Amino acid sequence: MEAFKIIYTVLGGLGIFFYGMKAMSESLQNMAGGLIKNIIASLTSHRLVAVAVGTLVTMLVQSSSITTVMVVGFVNASLMNLTQAIGVIFGANIGTTITGWIISIKIGKYGLLLVGLGIFPALFGKSTKAKNLGRVFFGIGLIFFGLEIMSNAFKPLRTMPEFLEAIAYFSDPNYGAYLACIIVGCILTCIIQSSSAMLGITIALASSGVIQFHTAAALVLGENIGTTITALLASVGGNVHAKRAARAHAIFNMLGVVVLFSVFPLYIQLVDWIIPGDPNLLNAAGEKPNIAVHIATGHTIFNVAATIIFIPFLTPLANLVCKLTPSKGGRVDKEGHLIALGKHTDLLPPAAILQAQKEIELFFKIVDKTFKRVRSYIDSPTDDQDILKEINKAETKTDIYQKEITEFIVHLLEKDLSEEQAVEAHRIIKISDELESITDYLEKLALNAQKFKQKAPLSGKLKKSILALFEQVDHMYQETKDQLQDYSKDRMLEIEKVSNRLWNEAEKLRSESFIMLSSEKVSPDVIMYYSDMVVALRKIRSHTLNISQASS
């Protein structure tokens, strides 16, 4: 009965801890969303900058798993190369150590006080900033309260003979016991899929006097290997670059553990030398007041030391994972596909928005090429099937783009976004939908031009007027694309004026074509094809205007 009580109390405390971590992480993301986006956007090929980006982002979101899943998603979408990704992963391992320091603060008994201080601004705050700040305090309070519940639940284990006998082997100060603890830490972290939660459990076990420092330190090393399972799972279904990034994360952490394991007794002594006080000292209550700080210090030393050791070998590590994960059939990327990897709960809103914006840029490039191909096809006197196939292929690809972007953003909108992020998410959906429609009408324009080539060549006044209207619509599209990068109300109003003028021009051309049908005895089929081409250009103009208005 005592064992059952311990189990459900620990699970309850762990659930409160998990919810606190989630609340704190999401609130920090909302508060620092713009900063995170700017940090990610500043990423360069310099390895130290990549490490700094990974460190800062992980410190802000309080989850190395979120950062590594984000990296795998970026690599899969070809928005980050493998070397950059590995550098960010190095930094994520350093950034996650801040969680250990937060957990190690001995204010567990004040957890409910922080919950009380945070819940009122979280529920009744007038501004978004006040609500997010309240949720941060609320989350931290739940973290400490959950740890306090777990620590109290573990205390009876100190005097439970069955438990002490079961862990006797793991408590011995020898390499066999160290290795066993590393394996256990790895397995449990793979199951829970949260190194922060396992670190919390380890600190709770150690603080309550159940395990000694060397056992806890070995468990933490195993947790650093187990945390890589999240990125490995996220890479399933991704391209070869995504798999390489995830495997680089696993190899880096495993090699770091191997290096530190080889000098484990010296590592323990180093932590004892840096942090004053005996980590295994028991107070009158049977607790170990010094051990939490020792565990947090050991966690930090491991990740910082591993990064310092391996950062000169970043390129060789990238080459190694390339050999271990070769590309098949020469295809390395799924260019232009937006693939939301892993659990949607792991999506980092600022990073997801940035990724979607990058995909919109790739979307525009496809539409740009399609405009040029359609112009070339209309102007060509022959029915060039190669150009037509490229136009059809582009239309199919944009259908995929629009579907994937919409699905990605819809899942993102299920999260707690800031007002600015929600507005940008809806804007991205709108733009992708309009770009897909533009490509549809460009294809229709080309197919109607093909009918002319097969029956009666488009020539003379009709061809000249179609090409003139096409050039004007293309120019409006280019102006709209530029406006997205440098928005101003005056530019949008100017585009609206151009749109109205082109609508009138299109109607004028259609009216003139019907007059030609009666007065110049032009074939009805020719007039019908011509009218359909004018209507397609008018529709392209309309969807382009919608893009311009979406940016306001």
**DSSP labels, 269-333:** HHHHHHS-S-TT---TTS--TTHHHHHHHHHHHHHHHHHHHHGGGHHHHHHHHHHHS--BTTB--
Cβ–Cβ under 8 Å, residues 355 and 338: yes
What does the pLDDT look like over 486-513, one tens digit per residue? 777 788 888 899 899 999 988 888 877 7
Cβ–Cβ under 8 Å, residues 325 and 244: yes
User: What is the mean pLDDT of the segment spanning 163-172?
Assistant: 74
Opening angle at CA 200, ends 236 and 280, nearest 5:
135
Query: Tell me, what DSSP letter sits at residue 157?
Result: G
Q: What is the pLDDT of residue 107?
A: 59
pLDDT greater than 70 at residue 353: yes
pLDDT greater than 70 at residue 283: yes
pLDDT greater than 80 at residue 266: yes
Q: Give the C-alpha separation, 264 to 259, whole Å.
A: 9
User: What is the mean pLDDT of the segment spanning 413-429?
Assistant: 84
Mean pLDDT over all residues of the chain? 81
Q: How far is CA 5 from CA 1, 213, 229, 420, in A?
A: 6, 26, 30, 46
Q: Give the C-alpha separation, 411 to 391, whole Å.
A: 31
Q: Give the C-alpha separation, 229 to 226, whole Å.
A: 6
CB 340: neighbour CB atoms within 10 A?
Answer: 24
Kindly state the helix (H) or strand (E) to which residue 196 belongs, with its residue range: helix 195-207
> What residue spans of 335-459 are helical by DSSP H?
349-379, 385-413, 419-455
User: What is the mean pLDDT of the segment spanning 270-293?
Assistant: 84
Q: Tokens representing 296?
A: 């947090």
Q: What is the pLDDT of residue 434?
A: 94
Query: Which of 229, 228, 226, 212 is closest to 178 using CA atoms?
Result: 212
User: What is the mean pLDDT of the segment spanning 9-34?
Assistant: 80
Q: What is the largest CA-CA distance in the chain?
A: 108
> What residue spans of 167-194 are helical by DSSP H?
168-171, 175-192
What does the pLDDT look like over 98-137, one tens digit per residue? 878 887 776 566 788 888 888 888 888 888 788 888 988 8
Q: What is the pLDDT of residue 476?
A: 92
CB 289: neighbour CB atoms within 10 A?
Answer: 14
What does the pLDDT look like over 314-339, one tens digit per residue? 888 888 888 888 876 443 444 444 44
Q: What is the pLDDT of residue 334?
A: 45
Q: Give the C-alpha separation, 24 to 208, whole Å.
A: 25
Q: What is the pLDDT of residue 11?
A: 86
Query: Tell me, what DSSP letter sits at residue 463?
Result: H
Q: In terms of residues, how long is the chain?
A: 552
Query: Which of 373, 506, 545, 523 is closest to 451 using CA atoms?
Result: 523
Phi then psi for residue 331, to 5 deg, are -90, 120
User: What is the mean pLDDT of the segment spanning 190-197?
Assistant: 80
Which is more confidently placed, 134 or 519?
134
Q: Give the C-alpha separation, 93 to 444, whole Å.
A: 52
Contacts of 168 (CB under 8 A, 6+ apart): none
Q: Tokens representing 103?
A: 């957990």
CA 374 to chain centre: 35
Cβ–Cβ under 8 Å, residues 466 and 458: yes
Lowest mean pLDDT segment, chosen from 70-74, 257-261, 366-370, 427-431 = 70-74
Burial of 416 (0-12, 13-18, 19+ CB in 10 A): middle
Q: Give the C-alpha separation, 179 to 221, whole Å.
A: 10
Beta bridge partners of 331: 328
User: What is the mean pLDDT of the segment spanning 67-89?
Assistant: 75
Query: Tell me, what DSSP letter sits at residue 236?
Result: T
User: What is the mean pLDDT of the segment spanning 290-306?
Assistant: 90
Angle, in degrees to the nearest 10, between helices 64-76 and 82-95: 170
Lowest mean pLDDT segment, chosen from 17-21, 169-173, 222-226 = 169-173
- The pTM for the full model equals 0.70
Q: Give the C-alpha separation, 428 to 441, whole Å.
A: 20
Amino acid at 131: K
Q: Give the C-alpha separation, 208 to 4, whole Å.
A: 18
Query: Tell me, what DSSP letter sits at residue 15?
Result: H
Q: What is the pLDDT of residue 340?
A: 40
Q: What is the pLDDT of residue 328?
A: 64
Q: What is the pLDDT of residue 257?
A: 92
Q: Does domain 348-550 have CATH number 1.20.58.220?
A: yes
Q: Give the C-alpha separation, 201 to 207, whole Å.
A: 10
Residue located via tokens 């601004």: 121
Q: Tokens representing 400?
A: 């995929």
Q: What is the pLDDT of residue 329?
A: 47
CA 251 to chain centre: 21
Would you list the domain boundaries of the chain? 2-324, 348-550
HSE value, Cβ hemisphere, 13 Å, CA-based, for 409: 26
Cβ–Cβ under 8 Å, residues 54 and 67: yes
